[in-house]
Amino acid sequence: MDFFEAQARAKKRTSRLVELFSLAVLGTIAAGYFGAVFLTRQIPDEVGRSRQRSGRYSQPSTLSSQLSASPSPSLWQPQLLALVSLGTLAVIGLASLYKWHEFSAGGSAVAESVGGRRVDPHTTDLAERRLLNVVEEMALASGVPMPAVFVLDDEPAINAFAAGLSTADAVVAVTRGTLEKLTRDELQGVIGHEFSHILNGDMRLNLRITSLIFGILVLGLAGRGILWSLRGSRFSSSRDSKNSGGILIAIGAVGLGLMVIGYVGYFFGRLIQAAVSRQREFLADASAVQFTRNPTGLGGALKKIGGLALGSSLQSSKSAAIGHFFFAQSFRSNFGGLWATHPPLAERIRAIEPTFDGAFIEPPQVIDVAQESFVTAGLAPAASANRQSAIASRQFSPDSAIASAGQLTPALLADAQDLLASLPPRLLTAARSPAEAPILLYGLLLDPDDEATQRRQLALIASRAGGDALHLLADLDVSLRELGPDQKLPLLQLALPALKSLQPTALAPFFAILDELVHADGRVSPFEFALQKLLLRNLAASHAPAAPVTQIYSFQAVAPEIAVVLSVLAHASAHDSATAYAAGAAQLKLLEGRLSPPTTRADLAALDAALDKLATASGPIKQRLLTAAAHVVTSDGEINVEEYELLRAIAAALDVPLPPLAR
């Protein structure tokens, strides 16, 4: 299943989820309505009896006398139904929006809500360093921005989760038990499972489920609050107290009704949550095995969960609300398998290891990473014949390049390991540091061929960023000169978590310096455009991950923008731009005969504007456009790094991750 199919399926699951929760809300409204009808039948009698006990029943003209003398209200009361419906929808809607607003800060907010601590990129803890290394490999291989990594220090069980609204704000979090009790292969299997959720669009769906369930739960919480507010009420023998008795009883009945209705709706909402979650876990397991080609890694992690007394259960009570996020069941269900968010461990293991005999593994207290070799500790990729053949098997073609979008394969993973190992250690250190990452990007933009331009750029950095920035650039200079063209954008990819941690006040001057460095020679190269576009797109998405996106479903509606993209690529990648443009246009059958190149040569500024609109297009439009773009850059029978990185930048602007070019 390719990236676009996975995204379409995620959208379909979201539609189905909305339908199921709509039924749950309708059921809640129905229960609330019949409860309200019951109360309207009981309250007049209760008020009347209270008045009679107080000696005031001799006034037949009072409202209470009229109510008690009138017949019982009908079961069908349209006005009451409308009132209950509006009230229920308002409470559920506002509560769900409130919870969604909490999540709008992105995956980091979710991780911190359950006690997550962000891992320092410069950590000296070998287990944490191994975790970062595995996540970096997965990010490079899949082409997604490097997620922030969190550890739940107070959780000794084995578990993990991925959270976020998009790949730009995604986080991966693991428990302390996962770090201490899993080998490198087992950890890789768990992280591969979580990356499947990232690539398949499951994270946003998980947050929607949590918001909707919270909205239904608020009804129950409101009812419980009403009952709690009445806990100090006392009834005396005075006439006024007797008169108010019926009203207090009515309020208590309303509170009890709300609590019962809310918790009943919450019960069924959790059933829906569990059913949706269980279906996706088998797919994520299969994807993780496909990524790593190592079923014993993922299987070993699941067997250790079964053999550990704590298993995968978390101590924090807050974890139950996001239980469907986790790698394994994070709480003990009070309703057996009904609320279970994950299939039984034995079923999951047999799905990837059909010969499983039912025997679990009792994990060691701590796997001593310090006693492992540099490779088995996860700090360097292992060299093997299979790994080398995997790298050698990667062949570039336009169709295969787009088919690799959002995919993780053994070949991509092996290539990412090779790429990560080849990056100069000093530059990796700078990429992981919030203080040094901006200076590293300045260094990537220095012109290596024109000394005059480079002097202007260095003078600009000195005047705008200060002498310390120049000293750091001098320290990085030797390593920067060692970089190949295929290593520059991967460094940016690894630097994104550090850059995202910059304060908003520091971003504006940082962007201004970058822009001046790009334009120092009076032109913008494809690499410079790619770096700026990737950076700005990811930082903007990380700061506003919940921003709404309008979907465009008509190819004709974006035909001018598609023409701009193909035209810019044709002029940037081939001597015969007309032939290159025609090669791409031929892939867009729905626009055949209507896709003329721009009358004036489109520049990178026009491309930037076109991509902003195309980012709101539907999946099928993006897929066909990227396929056409890949045919443009390979129209001369070959592709170089600069051409491919421009293609990657275009794909990233459309929220489609492409892996690096095979080394």
Annotate 483-500 with DSSP letters as a single string. --GGGHHHHHHHHHHHHH
Q: Do 404 and 267 lie in a common domain?
A: no
Q: Do 333 and 200 lie in a common domain?
A: yes
| pLDDT score at 494 | 92
Residue 433 lies in a domain: yes
Please write down the HEC assignment for all residues of 279-332. HHHHHHHHHHHHHHCCHHHHHHHHHHHHHCCCCCCCCCHHHHHHHHHECCCCCC
Here the tokens at position 14 are: 């979201």
Q: Which residues contact 627 (CB under 8 A, 6 or more apart)?
A: 398, 399, 402, 587
Q: Do 530 and 660 lie in a common domain?
A: yes
User: What positions carry a catalytic annotation?
Assistant: 194
Residues in the chain where the model's pLDDT stays below 50:
47, 57-58, 60-61, 63-64, 66-68, 235, 237, 242, 373-393
Q: Which residues contact 227 (CB under 8 A, 6 or more apart)?
A: 252, 255, 256, 259
Residue 224 lies in a domain: yes
| pLDDT score at 436 | 93
Residue 511 lies in a domain: no
* Residues 206 and 99: beta-carbon distance below 8 Å: no
- Looking up tokens 């070949």 gives 411
Q: Do 326 and 253 lie in a common domain?
A: no
How many CB atoms neighbour CB 38 within 10 A?
A: 14
Work out how many domains the chain is built from and give that number. 4
CA 57 to chain centre: 64
Q: Do 233 and 94 lie in a common domain?
A: yes
> Using CA atoms, how far apart are residues 15 and 12, in angstroms rounded to an integer?
5
> Using CA atoms, how far apart are residues 375 and 658, in angstroms rounded to an integer?
27
Q: Kindly state the helix (H) or strand (E) to which residue 162 belongs, with its residue range.
A: strand 160-163
> Using CA atoms, how far apart are residues 434 and 423, in angstroms rounded to an integer?
19
- Looking up tokens 């729905």 gives 590
| pLDDT score at 52 | 55
**CA distances in angstroms from 4 to 128, 361, 402, listed in the order given:** 33, 38, 10
Among the listed residues 87, 89, 95, 85, the one whose alpha carbon sits nearest the alpha carbon of residue 215:
95
Residue 518 lies in a domain: no
User: How far apart are the two ends of the chain, measured CA to CA in Å?
Assistant: 25
Q: Do 11 and 46 lie in a common domain?
A: yes
How many CB atoms neighbour CB 212 within 10 A?
A: 26
| pLDDT score at 26 | 81
Last-in-domain residue among 336, 369, 402: 369
**CA distances in angstroms from 35 to 79, 266, 474, listed in the order given:** 15, 17, 75
Q: Do 224 and 98 lie in a common domain?
A: yes
| pLDDT score at 324 | 78
Residue 517 lies in a domain: no
What interhelical angle do 526-543 and 641-653 show, nearest 10? 30
Here the tokens at position 81 are: 């139904």
Here the tokens at position 36 are: 């309200």
- The residue segments making up the domain with residue 191 are 109-205+281-369
Residue 516 lies in a domain: no
Q: Do 201 and 214 lie in a common domain?
A: no
The full length of the chain comes to 663
| pLDDT score at 544 | 64
Using alpha carbons only, give the angle 629, 633, 637 rounded to the nearest 5 degrees: 135
pTM: 0.78
* Residues 155 and 178: beta-carbon distance below 8 Å: no
Residue 378 lies in a domain: no
Q: Do 9 and 81 lie in a common domain?
A: yes
| pLDDT score at 30 | 81
The two beta strands, 171-175 and 160-163, are antiparallel
The CATH number covering residue 193 comes to: 3.30.2010.10
Here the tokens at position 427 are: 């530059």
Q: Do 531 and 596 lie in a common domain?
A: yes
Residue 376 lies in a domain: no
- Looking up tokens 């259960």 gives 313
| pLDDT score at 387 | 45
**CA distances in angstroms from 596 to 384, 586, 593, 602, 612, listed in the order given:** 50, 12, 8, 12, 20
| pLDDT score at 627 | 92
Q: Do 264 and 332 lie in a common domain?
A: no
* Residues 545 and 104: beta-carbon distance below 8 Å: yes
Q: Do 170 and 288 lie in a common domain?
A: yes
> Using CA atoms, how far apart are residues 107 and 173, in angstroms rounded to an integer?
10
